[in-house]
Amino acid sequence: MGTRARRVLTRPYVGTQTWRVVTRFSGADTFLVALRAIRQPYQLLSYCDTDADCRAACAAVHPRALAGVDAVQPPPLPPGTSVDLALAGWPCQPNSDLNMFATEDTIAAGHLVWEAAFDELLRLQPRILIMENLPSLLSARLLPILESLAQRLEASGYTWAADVLCPSLDKAIATRPRLLFVGHRP
């Protein structure tokens, strides 16, 4: 798969005034900091995180959004709700090159959770899906996971691109390189 774009993404968000957004494994609202930084209007429909402090941070900024603990079974959106942008990280500790205790079993368990959450996101059919994690997912041991995600995106009608970027270059809170995996559904 590599870090090359499969196809060049065009401007899929042109014409959308306020983006309807969902986040999974939301963290402390870090995904949406960038939207606020570029002054893109958005409405957060729902977010999920297992960490109570992260949910509290999201709730403080987005009091009307539906909150959830479980990214696999998030709060249901009203029928017919369309989603422009889905943002998702997923638990990265099992995938970290720094985790000396990672085993094939802990990696597999972490990815079972992620795959179930990924299925839920695909069910929502967002126009744009952005996932982030550690660049170590490009290692020979973990690359099959990304290749599987790419195949599933293509089977669902998405084009995709992947690259390793340093979010701090764009004034984001994160300061270390991250793998960004972007899907677009025309």
CATH number for the domain that contains residue 155: 3.40.50.150
Rounded Cα distance, 135 and 169, in Å: 16
Residue 172 lies in a domain: yes
Residue 10 lies in a domain: no
pLDDT band at 122 (very low <50, low <70, confident <90, very high): confident
Taking residues 8-18, report their average pLDDT.
59
Sign, CA torsion 124/129/135/139: positive
Taking residues 19-33, report their average pLDDT.
79
| Averaged pLDDT score across all residues of the chain | 78
**In this predicted structure, which of 5-9, 69-73, 117-121 has the lowest mean pLDDT?**
5-9
pLDDT at 85: 92
Distance of CA 109 to the CA centre of its chain: 18
The domain tally of the chain equals 1
Greatest distance between any 2 Cα atoms in the chain? 47
pLDDT higher than 70, residue 92: no
Residue 173 lies in a domain: yes
Residue 12 lies in a domain: no
Residue 7 lies in a domain: no
pLDDT at 110: 67
The answer to whether 182 and 128 are in contact (CB under 8 A) is: yes
pLDDT higher than 80, residue 121: yes
- Paired with 183 in beta bridges are 129, 160
pLDDT at 62: 92
pLDDT at 22: 93
Share of the chain above pLDDT 70, in %: 75
pLDDT band at 180 (very low <50, low <70, confident <90, very high): confident
The answer to whether 85 and 19 are in contact (CB under 8 A) is: yes
Residue 8 lies in a domain: no
What's the domain range around 47? 19-184
pTM for the full model? Answer: 0.79
185: left (phi over 0), alpha (psi -120 to 50) or beta: beta
DSSP 25-81: S-TTTHHHHHHHHTT--EEEEEEE-S-HHHHHHHHHH-TTSEEES-SSSPPPPPTT-
Q: Is 20 helix (H, G, I), strand (E, B) or coil?
A: strand
Out of 16-25, 91-100, 153-162, give the one with best mean pLDDT.
Answer: 153-162
pLDDT higher than 60, residue 1: no
